[in-house]
Amino acid sequence: MKRRTFLKLSSMTAVVLFTGCGDDESNIDQGSADVLAVALPIPTLLHSTQRNGVMHYDLNIVEGNHQFFDGVKTKSYGIDSSYLGPTLLLKNGETVSVNYTNNLKEDTTMHAHGMRLPGTMDGSAHQVIKVGKTWSAQYTVNQNACTNWYHPHYMGKTAEHVYEGLAGIIIVEDSESSALDLPNRYGVDDIPLVLQDRKFSADRTEMDYSPTNMELSRGYIGETFIVNGAIAPTFDAEAKEIRFRLLNGSNSTMYELGFNENISFKQIASDNGLLEAPVSMSRLLLSPGERAEIVVDFTDAAAESFTLKEFRHDKTFMTINVKDTATAVTTLPDTLASLEPVATPVRSRRFELDMAGMGRFTINNKVMDLNRIDANLNQGEAEEWEVVNKMNVDHNFHVHGSHFRVVSRNNNTAAVKKSEQGYKDVVHIPPNESVKIIVQINDVTADANAPFMFHCHFLEHEDHGMMGQFTVS
Ligand SMILES: [Cu+2]
């Protein structure tokens, strides 16, 4: 991994500097002559092999050389790939063994973000995968259809390992969602998009992970925006409804997403499941770790082109060229899922997100300690957690083992958007604001040897202390 060094000007960096001489660094790299013209890469669907009634998914964590730029190989990590990993398609009710073998030269972990698993199978900082070893997460899938993901959670190194390329999508299917007339042909009208941004070394042979203290706090934001490991790729869409499964897979960049000309689209799912009904919008704010499934209707847009944009940083993620054909046309239903009523809490807790000096981020004035348990929950009991952002920068809050509900923002229940009234595991908290969530864990446990974690999912904040642990018994 590249540490901060003096820039050596090559002809390639000269291109970057000249094209980036506007009022900010927006759109450098994208559009440069040395950017590959590529089709949107679609992560491979990983096939399982059945052994003794258990579906086994075998994954190898490897070093690689990934081609982001024309004629340049960039050192990277991946999972059976030079960058990112295959998509796991899991069915509710099936018993699986997800087997990760660590072929890196350093230890790591692999967390199943959004999967409702016992603490021992969570892949958190406590389930280290040593160099050369295999770790298996064995469990029976027990949750609604949704888009989750897997990524390292190694104490103090999560940000670096994700930055190098370790992440992949997990799609959970269930019979209720399969019965709906939703686009569900993977890679055709059901498209996972892992959205990220990266800095590169001057010669682009390495990714540059070297945040300053200011960047630790305000976000380590790359100039180059990438989707599924590609810079400004092109996707040829059928002239019909297309479902995009969006993941903010960045370390610490807020993405305000939308399309050119402000075309409207419908959000159908939040982190952990379908919404009650589609929500129309033209902008979608996703904080790091959050997912949203959206449906865009290209039925009347044959032969037109669109761009998926990020408006806070004025970047283009990808171009969508609509074909003049469509097969297996779908019609988005008006209602999608029925949600459980929000449970009445039996106790409340408060978590204050703050910092204690440069590069030390805290929850309730404490930095993360793997040997400290911060809260003990009882299975089945609902709790109200108030999470308060005491800083002038964005944070969010992720809870392991839980699909929580957002009930108020700044004590205002009306401030909770329709699109965040479904099941969630990450909630954004703007500067100096607060949220209240209802956390209830019914069917899994976590003891002090393999506790669950709660943390800010801005990975620089998490790695520098903004994390805590809890048990469920
Ligand atoms: Cu944070």
Question: Tell me: the pLDDT tens digits for 273-313?
Answer: 999 999 999 999 999 999 999 999 999 999 999 999 999 99
Q: How far is the CA of 338 from the centre of ligand 1 (A)?
A: 32
CA 151, CA 42: separation in Å to the nearest integer?
18
Q: How far is the CA of 334 from the centre of ligand 1 (A)?
A: 36
pLDDT-derived band at 12, boundaries 50, 70, 90: very low
> Is the pLDDT reported for residue 187 higher than 60?
yes
Q: How far is the CA of 312 from the centre of ligand 1 (A)?
A: 18
Q: How far is the CA of 427 from the centre of ligand 1 (A)?
A: 11
Question: Tell me: the pLDDT tens digits for 65-74?
Answer: 999 999 999 9
Q: How far is the CA of 354 from the centre of ligand 1 (A)?
A: 9
**Percent above pLDDT 70 for the chain:** 93
Q: How far is the CA of 463 from the centre of ligand 1 (A)?
A: 10
> Is the pLDDT reported for residue 437 higher than 50?
yes
Q: What is the mean pLDDT of residues 39-46?
A: 97
**Percent above pLDDT 90 for the chain:** 90
Q: How far is the CA of 108 from the centre of ligand 1 (A)?
A: 22
Q: How far is the CA of 378 from the centre of ligand 1 (A)?
A: 27
Q: What is the mean pLDDT of residues 128-146?
A: 97
pLDDT-derived band at 200, boundaries 50, 70, 90: very high
Q: How far is the CA of 366 from the centre of ligand 1 (A)?
A: 14
- Among 3-7, 65-69, 249-253, 314-318, the range scoring the smallest mean pLDDT is 3-7
pLDDT at position 33, please?
53
Q: How far is the CA of 156 from the centre of ligand 1 (A)?
A: 14
Q: How far is the CA of 466 from the centre of ligand 1 (A)?
A: 7
Neighbours of ion ligand 1 (CB under 5 A): 395, 456, 458, 461
CA 201, CA 334: separation in Å to the nearest integer?
48
Q: How far is the CA of 394 from the centre of ligand 1 (A)?
A: 6
> Is the pLDDT reported for residue 77 higher than 70?
yes
Q: Which two tokens stand for residue 315?
A: 């970047």
Q: How far is the CA of 460 from the centre of ligand 1 (A)?
A: 8
Q: How far is the CA of 71 from the centre of ligand 1 (A)?
A: 37
pLDDT at position 209, please?
98
pLDDT-derived band at 123, boundaries 50, 70, 90: very high
pLDDT at position 32, please?
54
Measuring CA to CA, how many Å separate 348 from each of 283, 384, 397, 470?
Answer: 33, 5, 16, 14
Residue 414 phi/psi, 5-degree rounding, is -75, -15
Q: How far is the CA of 67 from the centre of ligand 1 (A)?
A: 31
pLDDT at position 258, please?
98
Q: Please state the three-class secondary structure of 51-100 as a single string.
A: ECCEEEEEEEEEEEEECCECCCCEEEEEECCCCECCEEEEECCCEEEEEE
pLDDT-derived band at 3, boundaries 50, 70, 90: very low
435 contacts: CB under 8 Å, gap ≥ 6: 386, 387, 397, 406, 408, 409, 427, 429
pLDDT at position 5, please?
34
pLDDT-derived band at 35, boundaries 50, 70, 90: confident
Which residue type occupies 271?
D
Mode of pairing for the β-strands spanning 54-66 and 95-102:
parallel
Q: How far is the CA of 205 from the centre of ligand 1 (A)?
A: 30
pLDDT-derived band at 36, boundaries 50, 70, 90: confident
Q: How far is the CA of 13 from the centre of ligand 1 (A)?
A: 32
Q: How far is the CA of 218 from the centre of ligand 1 (A)?
A: 9
Q: Which two tokens stand for residue 324?
A: 């003049």
pLDDT-derived band at 16, boundaries 50, 70, 90: very low
Q: How far is the CA of 408 from the centre of ligand 1 (A)?
A: 19
Q: How far is the CA of 42 from the centre of ligand 1 (A)?
A: 30
- Nearest Cα neighbor of 20 from 205, 214, 222, 208 is 222
Q: How far is the CA of 131 from the centre of ligand 1 (A)?
A: 30
CA 36, CA 332: separation in Å to the nearest integer?
35
Q: How far is the CA of 433 from the centre of ligand 1 (A)?
A: 13
Q: Are the CB atoms for 103 and 58 separated by under 8 Å?
A: no
Q: How far is the CA of 254 from the centre of ligand 1 (A)?
A: 11
- Nearest Cα neighbor of 165 from 230, 258, 220 is 230
- List the domains of the chain with CATH numbers: 49-174 (2.60.40.420), 190-322 (2.60.40.420), 347-472 (2.60.40.420)
pLDDT at position 183, please?
98
- Nearest Cα neighbor of 74 from 226, 253, 281 is 226
Q: What is the mean pLDDT of residues 430-456?
A: 97
Q: How far is the CA of 190 from the centre of ligand 1 (A)?
A: 31
- Only one residue has tokens 């190898």, namely 60
Q: How far is the CA of 113 from the centre of ligand 1 (A)?
A: 17
Q: How far is the CA of 390 from the centre of ligand 1 (A)?
A: 11
Question: Tell me: the pLDDT tens digits for 340-364?
Answer: 999 999 999 999 999 998 899 999 9
pLDDT at position 18, please?
29
Q: What is the mean pLDDT of residues 456-469?
A: 98
Q: Are the CB atoms for 40 and 318 separated by under 8 Å?
A: yes
Mean pLDDT of the chain: 93
Q: What is the mean pLDDT of residues 181-210?
A: 98
Q: How far is the CA of 130 from the centre of ligand 1 (A)?
A: 28
Mode of pairing for the β-strands spanning 146-151 and 347-355:
unpaired
Q: How far is the CA of 362 from the centre of ligand 1 (A)?
A: 9
pLDDT-derived band at 15, boundaries 50, 70, 90: very low
Q: How far is the CA of 439 from the centre of ligand 1 (A)?
A: 20
pLDDT at position 47, please?
84
Q: How far is the CA of 221 from the centre of ligand 1 (A)?
A: 14
Q: How far is the CA of 432 from the centre of ligand 1 (A)?
A: 12
Q: How far is the CA of 36 from the centre of ligand 1 (A)?
A: 34
Residue 240 DSSP one-character state: S
